[in-house]
Amino acid sequence: MAFIKLDNTSEKKFKRWVGSTEILLGMTNTYARVAITVISYLVLVGWGFYSLHFETAAVGYAIALLVCLVLQAASVRFIFNWDEVIDEYQSKRRDAAYRKAYKRIRQIFLVILLLWFIATFVVGYIQDHSGLKFESPLYMDNYRSVVVAIFLAGLMTLQKYVNYGMKGEPFVSVQEYRQLRDS
């Protein structure tokens, strides 16, 4: 939290509180994580596609994506943000998520490059007979470049949350949560 600078002890206390508070229960269970992930992808792709075609939609797109990313972070109790208060189980699961996310991003970029190469080959050799010309298949102006940049930033940031796994905390009421914790 850059905008509220707390002293070290209070900051740690606050982060530990977030790590176990019942307030976040509705967002941290498996069903909520699945729902947040589906919504995030719908915003990322759907709103992104809409923004490509309707100028002025990019600001709303960026804000909506940011909200989705905050929801994702809350659904894993900010373990990607707060190193100093996570335990070894959370740390292992987080590191595994980073590894998987790196592999997934690599795959996504390889697929994009491959598709671009195939499109270039088809246009250059089969349709136009003009040889390979690596032109952008999106014919992007400045506005569209911004939208694509927002999309790529969102896609890459989202990967760590998606690859963390959908398994969340048990779907329980506050009473059941307290019982699990205190039994």
Cα 138 to chain centroid distance, Å, stands at 24
What residues from 51 to 80 belong to the interface with other proteins (CB under 8 A)?
Answer: none
Q: Mark residue 12 as left, alpha or beta (left: phi above 0; alpha: psi -120 to 50; beta: remaining).
A: alpha
How many CA atoms lie less than 13 Å away from 102 in the CB half-sphere? 6
CA-CA distances (angstroms) from residue 15 to 11, 81, 84?
6, 10, 9
Of 24 and 62, the one with the shorter C-beta distance to other proteins is 24
Binding status of residue 183 toward other proteins by CB under 8 A: yes
Of 141 and 182, the one with the shorter C-beta distance to other proteins is 182
Binding status of residue 182 toward other proteins by CB under 8 A: yes
Which segment (33-41, 88-96, 133-141, 156-164) binds other proteins by CB under 8 A?
88-96
Of 63 and 92, the one with the shorter C-beta distance to other proteins is 92
Number of residues that bind other proteins (CB under 8 A): 14
Of 51 and 169, the one with the shorter C-beta distance to other proteins is 169
Q: Determine the Cα–Cα distance for residues 90 and 99; give it in Å rounded to an integer.
A: 14
Total count of residues recorded for the chain: 183
- Return the bridge partners of 59, or none: none
Binding status of residue 169 toward other proteins by CB under 8 A: yes
Q: Which residues bind other proteins (CB under 8 A)?
A: 19-20, 86-90, 96, 99, 169, 180-183
